[in-house]
């Protein structure tokens, strides 16, 4: 896999060097393509910025390593957790029905907490309050399995988060975070994912940084990862101090980033480099 990837990267780099008009030629040729459901207006899923090889892995359920996590999540659904002797299925017997459309609508406003809640946090609330269990870490095997399973149930459904009403101030905070420069390299999310999608940053083709496919199975990680894990990585790459998974800062940022991808299809489990 790595081999294929680096060879391709080199080919791309050579093509760029050879081209008379360097900047732009790339983005232009990519935009001309019809991406079908993976593009809504000017917004494109990360899928459209991947190599054909990576897309093939995502397209084929038998090859997509994220599918194992979906199966894992499905069996966890009816496994008892916590002191109350309950499983998710005790209350959500028909997951396909109860969880349909849930993943693309998160983060959601929680009136009792007076702030936004991610899907992981919503799941943890049931585990702690209704099942007598301990909150799962965002990138634990159990949480990633449940998240991948719940995401897969909404496969193809458009991202649709509410950003008005009580969510509005949190949306504003997430947006401010997105445009704020940070770290020693002094870059904002927008510098890379809004100003430069389709361009090469050394070996990587920049995408729009959309999150319609999370938890995404990253070949580099050899496992799925949470949205907040990705945020931490992108913060550290510019030499900025990351926030904690589940921090208010990242929850609000997630709301804004999810909204940027409004209408894009839920793609869990997506596969990325």
Partner 1 sequence: MRKTKLAAGIIAVASVMAVQSAFADSHIKKYKIEDGAIKASLTGKTGDAAKGKKVAINRKKGNCLACHAISDLKDQPFHGNVGPSLDGVASNYSEGELRLRIVNAKTSNEDTIMPAFYKVDGYNRLIKKFKGKSVLSAQEVEDVLAYVMTLK
- The answer to whether residue 210 forms part of the interface with ligand HEC (CB under 6 A) is yes
- The answer to whether residue 185 forms part of the interface with partner 1 (CB under 8 A) is yes
Quick one: how far is CA 241 from the chain centroid?
A: 21
- The answer to whether residue 186 forms part of the interface with partner 1 (CB under 8 A) is yes
Interface residue with ligand HEC, options 28, 91, 93, 113 (CB under 6 A): 91
Q: Which residues of 175-211 are buried (b: 16+ CB within 10 A; e: fewer)?
A: bebbeeebbeeebbbbebbeebbbeeeeeebbbbbbb
- The answer to whether residue 92 forms part of the interface with ligand HEC (CB under 6 A) is yes
CA dist 105 to 73, 122, 145, 159, 266, Å?
A: 20, 12, 19, 7, 10
CA distance 131 to 87: 7
- The answer to whether residue 147 forms part of the interface with ligand HEC (CB under 6 A) is no
CA distance 92 to 8: 45
Handedness of CA 60, 231, 111, 176 (dihedral sign): negative
Spell out the alpha helix ranges (H) of 168-211.
168-179, 189-193
- The answer to whether residue 161 forms part of the interface with ligand HEC (CB under 6 A) is no
- The answer to whether residue 9 forms part of the interface with partner 1 (CB under 8 A) is yes
Q: Which CB, 33 or 181, lies closer to partner 1? A: 181
- The answer to whether residue 191 forms part of the interface with partner 1 (CB under 8 A) is yes
CB 203 within 8 A of CB 9: yes
Q: Mask 171-200, x = binds ligand HEC (CB under 6 A)?
A: ----------------x-x-xxx-------
234 is catalytic: yes
Dig out the tokens for 147 from the structure. 């998240």
CA distance 202 to 146: 35
Choose from ligand HEC, partner 1, none: what does 237 bind? Cβ within 5-8 Å by kind.
ligand HEC
Binding footprint of ligand HEC on the chain (CB under 6 A):
46, 86, 88, 90-92, 102, 122-123, 126-127, 130-131, 146, 187, 189, 191-193, 201, 204, 206-207, 209-211, 213, 216, 230-231, 234-235, 237-238, 253, 257, 272
The residues annotated as belonging to the active site are 234
Binding footprint of partner 1 on the chain (CB under 8 A):
6, 9-10, 13, 16-17, 22-23, 26, 180-187, 191-192, 195-196, 199-203, 206, 235-236, 239-241
């Amino acid at each position: 896999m790595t081999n294929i990837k680096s060879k391709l990267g080199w080919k791309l780099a050579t093509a760029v060097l050879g081209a008379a008009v360097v900047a732009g030629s790339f983005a232009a040729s990519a935009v001309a393509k019809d991406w079908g459901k993976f593009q809504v207006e000017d917004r494109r899923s990360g899928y459209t910025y991947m190599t054909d090889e990576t897309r093939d892995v995502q397209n084929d359920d038998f090859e997509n390593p994220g599918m194992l996590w979906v199966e894992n999540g499905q069996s966890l659904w009816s496994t008892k957790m916590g002191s109350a002797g309950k499983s998710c299925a005790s209350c959500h017997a028909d997951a396909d029905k109860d969880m349909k459309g849930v993943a693309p609508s998160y983060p959601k406003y929680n009136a009792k907490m007076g702030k936004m809640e991610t899907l992981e946090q919503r799941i943890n609330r049931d585990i702690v309050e209704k099942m007598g269990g301990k909150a799962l870490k965002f990138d634990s095997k159990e949480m990633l399995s449940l998240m991948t399973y719940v995401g897969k149930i909404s496969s193809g459904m458009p991202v649709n988060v509410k950003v008005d009403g009580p969510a509005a101030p949190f949306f504003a905070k997430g947006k401010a975070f997105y445009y704020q420069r940070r770290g020693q390299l002094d870059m904002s999310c927008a510098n890379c994912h809004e100003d430069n999608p389709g361009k090469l940053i050394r070996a990587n083709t920049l995408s729009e940084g959309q999150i319609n496919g999370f938890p995404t199975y990253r070949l580099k990680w050899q496992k799925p990862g949470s949205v907040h894990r990705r945020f931490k990585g992108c913060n550290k790459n510019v030499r900025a101090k990351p926030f904690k998974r589940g921090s208010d800062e990242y929850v609000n940022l997630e709301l804004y980033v999810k909204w940027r991808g409004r209408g894009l299809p839920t793609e869990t489990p997506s596969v990325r480099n």
